[in-house]
Chain A
Amino acid sequence: GAVVSQHPSRVICKSGTSVKIECRSLDFQATTMFWYRQFPKQSLMLMATSNEGSKATYEQGVEKDKFLINHASLTLSTLTVTSAHPEDSSFYICSAGRRSNQPQHFGDGTRLSIL
């Protein structure tokens, strides 16, 4: 069964809305989770590394004020897309792994559509 749960699976909202996406590790504690963005027919692009109890580490070119990450517990990380615009429409995916030398498990993604 799934070990990483992501919610919601799909969001459609108006431009200017802020959208929160949750990522939960179901049967293990994850001090680190990862957030990705994926465009159609492309590979995953790492946006940021979410660190439990501390600030997220953002990849170059990703606006931290636009994509707010909170990792307040060992089983939950959230990504908030603030004041979303149509160009933020994408497929957002989170992942977590039990240990750094073990495979990451992925949520089923969130399809975000901004009108």
Chain B
Amino acid sequence: GESVGLHLPTLSVQEGDNSIINCAYSNSASDYFIWYKQESGKGPQFIIDIRSNMDKRQGQRVTVLLNKTVKHLSLQIAATQPGDSAVYFCAEISAGNNRKLIWGLGTSLAVNP
């Protein structure tokens, strides 16, 4: 299947620190990547995206880095706040996959005050 039923890894950071969440994607033909944030009991919320012709993109307090050589994606959150506590998913879209999202396993971010 396109997602695997494993328990989520957890990243714990202190408030104010920077967070880095990593994701290994599966398909070298994927050309579009998205980071989503999911709070408990809610649907995923779009954070930032990046296309395969870029290796870095910045938003407000967030930066996404794409390394196509090793099929690696990362999300950097600056000055992490308690409200950033959530599960973060990376997702990829392959040009030949009917534009379906392929989901990563997710990382649970816990921000300690």
A residues touching B (Cβ–Cβ < 8 Å)?
4, 6, 32, 34, 39, 41-46, 49, 57, 59-61, 93, 95, 100-101, 103-109, 111
The 21 sampled A-B contact pairs (Cβ below 8 Å) are A4-B43, A6-B43, A41-B8, A42-B3, A43-B106, A44-B3, A44-B44, A44-B101, A44-B103, A45-B2, A46-B2, A46-B3, A46-B100, A59-B2, A61-B1, A93-B43, A101-B32, A101-B93, A103-B34, A104-B101, A109-B41
Cβ–Cβ contact B89 & A43, under 8 A: yes
Q: Which residues of B contact A41 (CB under 8 A)?
A: 7-8, 108
Q: Which residues of B contact A105 (CB under 8 A)?
A: 46
**Given A44-B44, A44-B89, is A101 in contact with B99 using a C-beta cutoff of 8 Å?**
yes
Q: Which residues of A contact B89 (CB under 8 A)?
A: 43-44
Secondary structure of the B contact surface, majority rule: loop
B98 within 8 A of A: yes
Cβ–Cβ contact B2 & A106, under 8 A: no
B4 within 8 A of A: yes
Cβ–Cβ contact B99 & A100, under 8 A: yes
Count contacts on B: residues with CB < 8 A to the other chain: 29
Q: Which residues of A contact B4 (CB under 8 A)?
A: 43
Closest to B36 in A: A106
**Given A100-B99, A104-B101, A109-B43, is A45 in contact with B32 using a C-beta cutoff of 8 Å?**
no
The residue that A106 contacts in the complex, of B1, B43, B104, with Cβ under 8 A, is B43
Cβ–Cβ contact A106 & B100, under 8 A: no
B 38-56 to A, binary, CB cutoff 8 A, 1 in contact else 0 = 0001111110010000000
Q: Which residues in window 12-67 of B have CB below 8 A to A?
A: 32, 34, 36, 41-46, 49
B110 within 8 A of A: no
Cβ–Cβ contact A45 & B43, under 8 A: no
Cβ–Cβ contact A42 & B8, under 8 A: yes
